[in-house]
Amino acid sequence: MRLSIIIPSYNEKPTLAKALKRLINLEIPNFVSDREIIIVDDGSDDGSEMIAEEFSRQYDMITLMKHKKNLGKGAAIKSGINVARSDVYLVCDADMELELSDIPAVLNAMHTHKFEFVNRSRFLHAANSRAGSLPVYYVNRLLSLLSSVLDGVRISGVTCGYKQRISDFVGYPETWNWLQQVHPI
C-alpha cells in the first residue's frame, strides 16, 4: 500500500512545522510501502507557506502545492488528490486538533477490515481530542447526520480532520465536490 497524506493548510504557521516533524517521524505500519506528504497551501498570508517550502526542500517525501488565493479546504484537498501518487489518501489538518499518533490505527483499521473509507470521529473518543464549542458540536452532528443519510453509512464526525480513502474508490477527483458543496469544513 502506498500512502498520500494530504494537508490542506491555510494560515497554520503556529502548528505546521510541529505537525510536519511528527508526520515525518511517525511509525507507519509495515504494509505501507511508500508514503508522501502533500501540503496544499491555500493562499496563506501568515508565513506558513515559507515553512512548507523549507520542509519540501529538506524532505523528498514532501510536495508543496500553492493556491494564489484562498479557495477553501475542499479545493485544497482536491488539488492534493490531483497530484497524489498513492493507493490511499489520508486528509490531515495541520492544526493538530487530532492526535497524529492515531494515524497508524486508522491505517490498520482500513487494512485489517478492508474498509474503503475511514473517518476518525472526535466524538467517539472525546478524551483524546477537542470536540470544540457547543455550536460547532451541533453543526458537526447535523452535517454528520445528513452525510449518513445521503451516503447510507453511519458517520459520527464528518468534519473530523482524518479522512482516508482508497484511490480506486474515489475515482476521478470530481467525486470530491461534496467537500465543497455539502460539507463546509
pLDDT of residue 162: 44
pLDDT of residue 55: 98
pLDDT tens digits for range 87-97: 888 888 888 77
pLDDT tens digits for range 94-109: 887 778 888 898 888 8
User: Alpha-carbon distance 84 to 99, whole Å?
Assistant: 23
83 SS3 class = helix
Local confidence pLDDT in tens for the 185 residues of the chain? 899 999 999 999 999 999 999 999 999 999 999 999 999 999 999 999 999 999 999 999 999 999 999 999 889 999 999 999 988 888 888 887 778 888 898 888 888 888 776 665 555 554 444 445 667 666 666 766 776 676 666 655 555 544 444 444 444 344 444 333 333 33
Domains of the chain from N-terminus onward: 2-120+161-181 (3.90.550.10)
- What is this structure's pTM? 0.72
Burial of residue 111 (number of CB atoms within 10 Å: 0-12, 13-18, 19+): middle
Long-range contacts of 128-135 (CB under 8 A, 24+ apart): 128/99, 128/102, 129/97, 129/98, 129/99, 130/97
pLDDT of residue 129: 45
Element holding 90 (H helix, E strand): strand 88-91
